[in-house]
Structure formats: structure tokens, C-alpha cells
Amino acid sequence: MDPVKILAFAGSLRAGSFNRKLILNSQRLAPESMEMEIFALDDIPLYHGDREEPEMPAPVVDFKRRIEAADGLLIATPEYNFSFPGVLKNAIDWASRPDGGRILAGKPVALQSASPGWAGGLRAQLHLRQVLHFFPMRVQFFPEVCVGQAHHKFDGDTLTDPLAIENITKQLTVFVDFVRQGR
């Protein structure tokens, strides 16, 4: 059976982002039945409706092309003020234009989050799910990956927390089947 192709990105621009590290570790922990490509949102400009025509910015075109080519998405979101960051909302807004999110409709998505706070970004995931259901995307709910106290759970870029590693491994294994069910 062909491997499931996943596009993964973090809703953070910070070089030392826990969520970028979460995506890197997820790529390392992915099952053999999954190919994971990582995309950085750094070059996606702020959404501006006047920039949709005559031609969308090249980083947006590239992002949308990669979303369309992927079988599913893995999104890691920080939690800022009980929600997900504007960087991530901006990327979703661009991906949904100008056709109202055709490339997002029905796309399987798994969410992860890491935060220094105790909830590990769970509230950001809840708000993000509300946005993703608009398109409607197929959101996998369980197993959840919420890494609380993240500043104590990485050694450099390497995730060291056994429970978080176990949850990521389970999530990605289940995600392969979740994606295949929708093919």
C-alpha cells in the first residue's frame, strides 16, 4: 500500500518554537506507512485581499500546492492568550482563498500543541478545530497530543518526555488509518 503523504507545519515563526520541535520529532516518529513533509510558514505574507489578483504571492501558491498534494495535514499550534496564533490563522485564510477553501474541504487533519503552560495548548486546539470545521476538514480527535510544561520536555530539539513520545506515536499510527478511510 502506498504511504500516506502528510504536510506538517507549526503555527509559529520562532526559531526555538516548541511546536516546530514537535513537528520535527513527529517526522522522526512517523510510522513507515507515512511520508511527512515539513513546511515553514515564515514567508507567507499577511493576508490582503488585493494581493489575490492578478497573482497570489509565490509562497502562498507553493503552500496551497503542497496542501493539495498531501493526503492529510499535521498542524502544531502554540497557545497565545487561550487561542491559536495569528500566524496560523493567516496561513489558513490564504489557503482558503479565493475559492472558499476547496483544497481544505474534506482534508484529514491531526492537531498537536506544546506550551510552557499546564494545558499544553489544548485551548488553542479547541479554537482551531472551530475554524477547521468551517471548510469542513476531517479532524482526528484522538489520540490527543498536548505537551504541557514543554520547556522541561525537550533536550535541544529532541523531545525527551516518554508520555509525549508515546502519544505522538499513537496519534500518527491512528492518523494513517484515518486518512486512508477517507480516500
Tell me what pLDDT residue 54 has: 78
Cell of 17: 518554537
Whole-angstrom distance, CA of residue 60 vs CA of residue 52 = 10
Domains delineated in the chain: 4-181 (3.40.50.360)
Instruction: Specify the 3-state DSSP secondary structure of 172.
Output: helix
- Quick one: the chain helix, strand, coil %, rounded to 5? 40, 20, 40
Count Cα atoms within 13 angstroms, Cβ side, for 137. 28
Tell me what pLDDT residue 134 has: 94
Instruction: Specify the 3-state DSSP secondary structure of 176.
Output: helix
Q: Answer yes or no: pTM beyond 0.85.
A: yes
Tell me what pLDDT residue 71 has: 98
Whole-angstrom distance, CA of residue 93 vs CA of residue 91 = 5
pLDDT tens-place string over residues 17-56: 999 999 999 999 999 999 999 999 999 999 988 888 778 9
